[in-house]
Amino acid sequence: MIIPISYYLVLSGVLFGLGVVAFIFKRNVIAVFMSIELMLNAVNLAFVAFARAHSQLDGLVFVFFVIVVAAAEAAVGLAIVIMMAQNRESLNVERVDQLKF
């Protein structure tokens, strides 16, 4: 039997929702970054499922670009995390409130 594409989309939606929950509830800045990666992965799954459904390669090319952007974002983001750990001596996002009104 062939799995319907809607199953993949539901799984993608559930993973994206869990990523949003993790993004909001985690207090460690590295864990917040990992939840962003989880959301990007969920979107990639939806892209591949749609590419499969329409038998077109454009979805896979988009997944390729999303992975490239995620890698660049992880490099810059982790550099910012290291700076933050050096300056604040804490990884808690609640402690970084200098720009908070």
Q: What's the rounded Cα separation, in Å, for the pair 75 and 84?
A: 14
* CA-derived radius of gyration, the chain: 17
> What is the nearest approach in angstroms of another protein to the Cβ of residue 27?
5
Footprint on residues 35-74 left by another protein (CB under 8 A): 35, 37-38, 41, 44-45, 48-55, 57-58, 60-61, 63-65, 67-74
Q: What's the rounded Cα separation, in Å, for the pair 4 and 19?
A: 24
Token pair for residue 73?
């974002």
> What is the nearest approach in angstroms of another protein to the Cβ of residue 56?
9
Phi-psi region of 55 (alpha: psi -120 to 50; beta: other; left: phi over 0): left
- 96 counts as binding another protein under rule CB under 8 A: no
Which residues lie near another protein (CB under 8 A)?
1-11, 13-15, 17-22, 24-28, 30-31, 33-35, 37-38, 41, 44-45, 48-55, 57-58, 60-61, 63-65, 67-76, 78-83, 85, 91-92, 94
